[in-house]
Structure 1
Amino acid sequence: MNNYFTIFINGDPFNCDSSMSLLDILRYLDIDVNNVIIEYNNDIIHRIQFNSLLFKPKDAIEIITIVGGG
């Protein structure tokens, strides 16, 4: 049986399955994981943790997109 709950992404509620990792959510949202910085409950998360980070209800992430240019 799936367990759904709400987390917050950039301040907005997002309903997710308890089995979804951070990487799963970023892929679902079609976000390029190579061009983002993720803050999880006020801590910066290293890219190698994206697949192993699972959420708890009411967790919060901020997705910061890196934009290059010149």
Structure 2
Amino acid sequence: MQVFVNNKEVDTQATTLSTLIEQLGMPAQGVAAAVDNKMVPRTQWADFPLTAGAKVTIIKAACGG
């Protein structure tokens, strides 16, 4: 299925947010995610279903000043 990750079209077989984030190679810590403009707590990633056309926003924390 196709989803949009940070406004880029991505083909994936992932059925959950957790699986998608793993497939994208994101780190286990320092990442926040929203689906269709709604924040999804990390505790819900494994159970949060993805649907075709979903708009996923992934934000990585960065150090600096």
Same fold per TM (> 0.5)? yes
Q: 1:65 pairs with 50, 60, 64, which one?
A: 60
Unaligned runs of 5+ residues in structure 2 are: none
Question: SS in structure 2 opposite 1:57?
Answer: coil
Aligned positions, number: 65
Unaligned runs of 5+ residues in structure 1 are: none
Q: What TM-score, normalized to structure 1?
A: 0.81
Highest relative contact order (Cα 8 Å, sep 6+), 1 or 2? 2
1:1-70 equivalent positions in 2, closer than 5 A: 5-17=1-13, 20-69=15-64
User: What are the Cα deviations for residues 7-66 of structure 1, in whole angstroms up to 9, with x where unaligned?
Assistant: 10000011122x531111111111013211111101111000110111111111110001
Question: SS in structure 2 opposite 1:23?
Answer: helix
* Matching residue's letter, 1:15: D
Q: What TM-score, normalized to structure 2?
A: 0.86
CA RMSD of aligned residues (A): 1.5
Q: Percent identity?
A: 18
Structure 1 runs of 4+ off > 4 angstroms? none
Whole-Å separation in 1 of the counterparts to 2:55 and 2:22: 17
* Matching residue's letter, 2:39: I
* Matching residue's letter, 2:29: N
